[in-house]
Amino acid sequence: MKAKTNIRKIVIESLEKNGDNPKRATQWLVTKSKKSADLKDSLLMNGANQLVRDYFGSQRINAMSMASARVLLGGDSKRLSNRLARFKFWDSYTLFGMQPIKSATREMLLDSSNNRTTQARGEILLAKFEKAVSLKLKNNKVKVSQAITNEQLERIAVRFKVES
């Protein structure tokens, strides 16, 4: 599992064998990793990376809300909770790529801003695509595959292509 493409190939295999069911595919990967140390190491590394990204993502949200509370309270130490008093914004807010803001340069800040803007544009395009597809469905009981063909879905998708 040394190359990224190998893990991707195994994930695709897992999804194919499990009818694109994420829970069953995940369980299949866990079971298969018990027989392959390389796969197990790769899954552990990917999982650990995702946990770190999730942690920093939640820290950014917490940092923004705590900064608001601190500013509203005007730094009055009597009114600040212990958590707010211990908290340093620049220790918890990270740039795109998990770089702490306290050690960021202007260039790093601008790169992070550009990356977030690009990511947001992509997410907005995907949301618009999903909304356009939803308009093809008559009600909540109809599935996409019952209402339109794959070819029709692709024609809709082309209108919302995310640039990489």
The three-state DSSP-derived secondary structure of the chain is CCCHHHHHHHHHHHHHHCCCCHHHHHHHHHHHHCCCHHHHHHHHHHHHHHHHHHHHHHHHHHHHHHHHHHHHCCCCCCCCCHHHHHCCHHHHCECCCCCEHHHCCHHHHHHHHHHHHHHHHHHHHHHHHHHHHHCCCCCCCCCHHHHCCHHHHHHHHHCCCCCC
Residue 114 lies in a domain: yes
Residue 123 lies in a domain: yes
Residue 74 lies in a domain: no
Residue 36 lies in a domain: no
Check if the beta carbon of residue 31 is closer than 8 Å to that of residue 45: no
Structural domain that includes position 138: 105-164
Q: Which residues pair with 94 in a beta bridge?
A: 100
Residue 158 lies in a domain: yes
> Structure tokens of 92?
């918890």
Residue 147 lies in a domain: yes
Each residue's pLDDT tens digit in the chain (164 positions)? Answer: 444 448 889 999 999 999 999 999 999 999 999 999 999 999 999 999 889 888 888 888 777 777 777 677 665 555 556 555 556 777 778 899 888 899 999 999 999 999 999 999 999 999 999 999 999 999 999 999 999 999 999 999 999 986 65
Check if the beta carbon of residue 85 is closer than 8 Å to that of residue 70: no
Residue 56 lies in a domain: no
Tokens 């990376």 — which residue? 49
Task: Specify the pTM.
Answer: 0.62
Q: Which residues pair with 100 in a beta bridge?
A: 94
Using CA atoms, how far apart are residues 41 and 95, in angstroms rounded to an integer? 27
Q: Structural domain tally of the chain?
A: 1
Residue 5 lies in a domain: no
Return the amino acid letter for 37: A
